Amino acid sequence: MAKKDYTAMARGIVAKAGGEGNIVSATHCMTRLRLVLRDTAQFDTDGVKAVPGVLNVIIQNGEYQVVIGQDVPDLYAEIQKFEGIKAGGAVEDAQAAAADAKLQHGNVINGILSFIGGTFSPVIPVLVAGGLTGAVLSLLTSVFGVSAESGTYTIVYAINQATFYFLPVFIGFAAANRLKANGYLGAFLGAILLYSTINGAEGLDFFGIPVQTVTYSSTVFPVILGVLFMSVVYKFLQKHTPVFLKTIVVPLLTMLITVPVTLIVLGPIGNTLGTWLANGVYAIYQAVPPIAVMIIGITTPLMVFFGMNNATYPVVFALMAAVNSDPLICTGMAPANVAVGGACLAAALLAKSVEEKSVSVSAGVTALCGITEPGVYGVLFPKTYPLIGAMIGGGVGGLLAGLLGMTQYVISTPGFISIAAYIDPSGSSYNLMVSLLVMVVALVIGFVATYLVGKRMSAK
């Protein structure tokens, strides 16, 4: 496949989106360019899809997501060169913001999923980098003999622990940006929750109102609820405060109102919700582990297609907090992702044109590394039979993972590229061997099932 011309792609997308004057803001996640528009009627969906290099267009909660692949940062760099486009996700156009809010009220479920996905997507690189350092620590101590008392261990350990300890800060920033509030105030709220006299403190009160003891480190629900409330306060004050007082009054009153309400009401509620979620999901897993993981393995390509995969992160964090690993979501997605890779490679073998072969091979290799959007949008759904093969491979792999007790110890993109995430911190090699076996089986079955189904369909 020829090298992408990102300059031409950017021009084509902007033109078909109604021009740079119609784009209020542009951001990107791991695989998608995300646009907020002034006039959605000017967006030519078919025209954008026809731009070379574009895999698909997904419309969620008023946001137009152009699926590119993991090279989307290269395209985004070209988008940033348009002076009329606001980068970074801040929506300053009141009319566009109001229209977006109206769309959110029109579809509550879609809005919730879009909010969750948009909040966690920007944090994924931090989670991957910090999470995998846990596996690096295991290798340093078990293979290279690095002492746990050494400075080297201390530094790498700090990278790993800071990622999750300060998670409320990252989530607070991303959630506030997603809600079109002030991201730094969202991060500030997360930092306050982690302050030594607040985090896990006992016997606190606010003007005589008792503050429940909650440990906020590594949590997500308390800060999300707090930022949701904060965004309402912030927007109200922004609207009703005189311009010459906004710089001082808005941030001050926002935090003086938000922090006590979060500590007294929202934080404890969020902590309870997280506990209930973890206990509920883990109870389902314990009841029928093989079936539970198999369902994740089968449905992962569908979740990716509908943009619901990032909405599973709260469940993953809840499981991590409860049992120190994820035996369900990421564990089921690992065989599903590599099965997509196997299906794409089989589709390449069956493809008749050079271009189709090239696209399928590229998408297959990418999926083996854990990034399946190019395969899902570019191969599985357009051809249908690779989707069937991938779901069969993912289902069988998930069933096997559940039977053998596979789990993922750190949050990372499930696939061969993150194999270190399956290293048991205790030093046992069982889970690593099981994980390799599960993914190889899913890859092979995904490939074979796709090839057989594809051959049968082409013979009709």
Residues 254 and 329 in one domain: no
Same domain for 262 and 411: no
215 and 233 both lie in a single domain: yes
Q: Are residues 41 and 171 in the same domain?
A: no
Examine the fold and report which residue of 38, 61, 93 is the final residue of a domain before the chain moves on: 93
Query: Residue 213: inside a domain, yes or no?
Result: yes
> pLDDT grade, residue 106 (50/70/90)?
very low
Q: Which of 119-128, 286-295, 323-332, 414-423 has the lowest mean pLDDT?
A: 119-128
32 phi, psi to nearest 5 deg: -125, 140
Q: What is d(CA 175, CA 66) in angstroms, rounded to the nearest whole number? A: 21
**Shared domain check, 322 and 430:** yes
Examine residue 427 and state whether it is found in any structural domain, yes or no: yes
Note the pLDDT of residue 216: 94
Look at the chain and report how many structural domains it folds into.
3
With contact defined as beta carbons under 8 Å apart, do 328 and 293 qualify?
yes
Residue range 261-301, pLDDT digits in tens: 999 999 999 999 888 888 888 888 889 999 999 999 999 99
CB 223 within 8 A of CB 216: yes
Are 241 and 377 found together in one domain? no
Same-domain check for residues 40 and 174: no
pLDDT, residue 86, reads 63
Residue 152 lies in a domain: no
Q: Which residue in 29, 330, 344, 369 is the catalytic one?
A: 29
Is residue 107 in a domain?
Answer: no
* 29 catalytically annotated: yes
- Give me the CATH number covering residue 15: 3.30.1360.60
In this structure, the answer to whether residues 197 and 258 fall within a common structural domain is yes
Q: Pick the last residue of a domain from 284, 319, 341.
A: 284
Q: Is the pTM of this model over 0.85?
A: no
Query: Domain containing 70: what range?
Result: 6-93
Same domain, 60 and 172: no
Q: Report if residue 78 sits inside a domain.
A: yes
Q: Which of 284, 313, 341 is the last residue of a domain?
A: 284
Same domain, yes or no, for 308 and 453? yes
Q: Are residues 252 and 362 in the same domain?
A: no
Find the farthest-apart pair of alpha carbons in the chain and give their distance in angstroms, rounded.
77
Q: Say if residue 64 is in the same domain as residue 187.
A: no
Tens of pLDDT, residues 331-361: 999 999 999 999 999 999 999 888 889 889 9
Q: Let me know if residue 117 belongs to a domain.
A: no
> Could you tell me if residue 54 is inside a domain?
yes
Q: Which residues pair with 28 in a beta bridge?
A: 33
Neighbour tally for 242: CB within 10 Å: 7
Cα 293 to its chain centre, rounded Å, is 19
Please name the residue that has the structure tokens 């964090």: 317
